[in-house]
Amino acid sequence: MNTPVVSLSNAGKSYQQLDALKSVTMHLNQGEVMGLFGHNGAGKTTMMKLILGVISPSRGNVEVMGMAPDSKEAWHTRSKVGYLPENVSFYEQLTGLEVLTYFAKLKGFSKKQAIDLLEQVGITHAMKRQVKTYSKGMRQRLGLAQAFIGEPKLLLLDEPTVGLDPIATRDFYKTVDQLKSNGSSVILCSHVLPGVEQHIDRAMILSTGQLLAMGTLKELRQQAALPVAIKPSGLNGSVANDSKLNRFLSENCPQTLMVPEHEKLSVLKQLLSHDTLEDLQVETANLEQVYQHFLSLHELSAHGKQHELGLQAKGEQS
């Protein structure tokens, strides 16, 4: 394996009072798509800015394609990096084509490439119109076209699907998959979790500047040890009477069995042995639940002391 495209080692950024990013170590390989999740103020944008070389780390090391992105030597690598900021409103009085041509020229490309990109994101019909007449979705497409200039080796996309309709979202993910198969690495930053799962190789969860978890979805699911939800139908009361099954039932959802991953198959077999079974729904924990799990875990440890005391008190009572 050659050198990672992005590598952060204990990298952090502090402003006067605030640790925007505490200490993060991560590597992104060529052709890998990383999902970066976290709520507002989690440090996602700070991390992106560090990788882009717009700010310098307060501690630790950041390397992009083998160079510190804020150094002079990294200058020429910048044209191989594409970035879509979260909130950007392009020059309103310019037409879409003029905006994209300006950005393309700054990266050393021509108007022709700009037109091709506009075609790729599907706004050729509006390219001669001023950006101020664009809808939210069209602006987002223009931003994406801007990030795609020059087939970047590294793409950083902050909330790329905000404002896109389902078809445009699908087109967008198609482009991401295509870039990935061409060997580009992508960092996708998002709060919107559904839909993103199939397109990322690994996920990173950040909260208040801290890295909570990182890994493939499978690894994260294992770490989180979230139960699988199994919904049988047609069994009526017999689940509650089955001693092997009724311990998986919880009070707030009496129809659904919450089963740990390793017991899934044995429970399924047991369910199949019931003749009245009509249908089964098996749902493994999705990214959103994994994300929620790590966040709540983090909040728990933040108020750790308090909670431990609380739990102890409960234990004594029972």
Partner 1 sequence: MRQILTVANKEFQDGLRNRWLISITLIFALLSIGLTYFGAAASGAVGVASLSTTVASLASLAVFLIPLIALLLSYDSFVGEQESGTLLLLLTYPLSKSQLLLGKFIGQGGIIALATLLGFGSSAVLLYIQLGDPDVLTSFSVFIFSAVLLGLSFTAISYLISLSVSEKSKAAGFALITWFLFALAFDLALLALLVGVEEGLSQSGLTQLMMLNPADIFRLVNLSGLDSSDVNGALAVAINASLSQAQLFTALFAWVALPLTLAIFIFKRKKL
Write down the H helix ranges in the chain. 44-52, 96-106, 111-121, 136-147, 166-181, 217-224, 238-241, 264-272, 287-302, 304-317
Instruction: Assess 85 for contact with partner 1 (CB under 8 A).
Output: yes
Residues in contact with partner 1, shown as a per-residue x/- string from 135 to 174 under the rule CB under 8 A: -----------x----------------------------
Report d(CA 62, CA 6) in Å as an integer: 8
Is the Cβ–Cβ distance between 223 and 205 less than 8 Å?
no
Least distance from C-beta 217 to partner 1, angstroms?
29
Instruction: Assess 78 for contact with partner 1 (CB under 8 A).
Output: yes
Is the Cβ–Cβ distance between 21 and 47 less than 8 Å?
yes
**What are φ and ψ of residue 6, in 5° steps?**
-125, 135
Instruction: Assess 75 for contact with partner 1 (CB under 8 A).
Output: yes
Stretch that binds partner 1, among 95-103, 134-142, 249-257, 296-304 (CB under 8 A): 95-103
Instruction: Assess 49 for contact with partner 1 (CB under 8 A).
Output: yes
Report d(CA 209, CA 203) in Å as an integer: 16
Residues in the chain, overall count: 318
Positive or negative: CA dihedral 296, 302, 303, 309:
positive
Instruction: Assess 91 for contact with partner 1 (CB under 8 A).
Output: yes
> Quick one: tokens of 76?
């020429």
In the region spanning residues 99 to 128, those forming contacts with partner 1, defined by CB under 8 A, are 102-103, 105-108
Instruction: Assess 18 for contact with partner 1 (CB under 8 A).
Output: no
Least distance from C-beta 81 to partner 1, angstroms?
7
SS3 label, residue 302: helix
Total residues contacting partner 1 by CB under 8 A comes to: 28
> Which residue from 12, 26, 44, 90 is in contact with partner 1, where contact means CB under 8 A?
90
Query: Which parts of this chain interact with partner 1 (CB under 8 A)?
Result: 15, 49, 52-55, 75-76, 78-79, 81, 83, 85, 87-91, 93-94, 98, 102-103, 105-108, 146
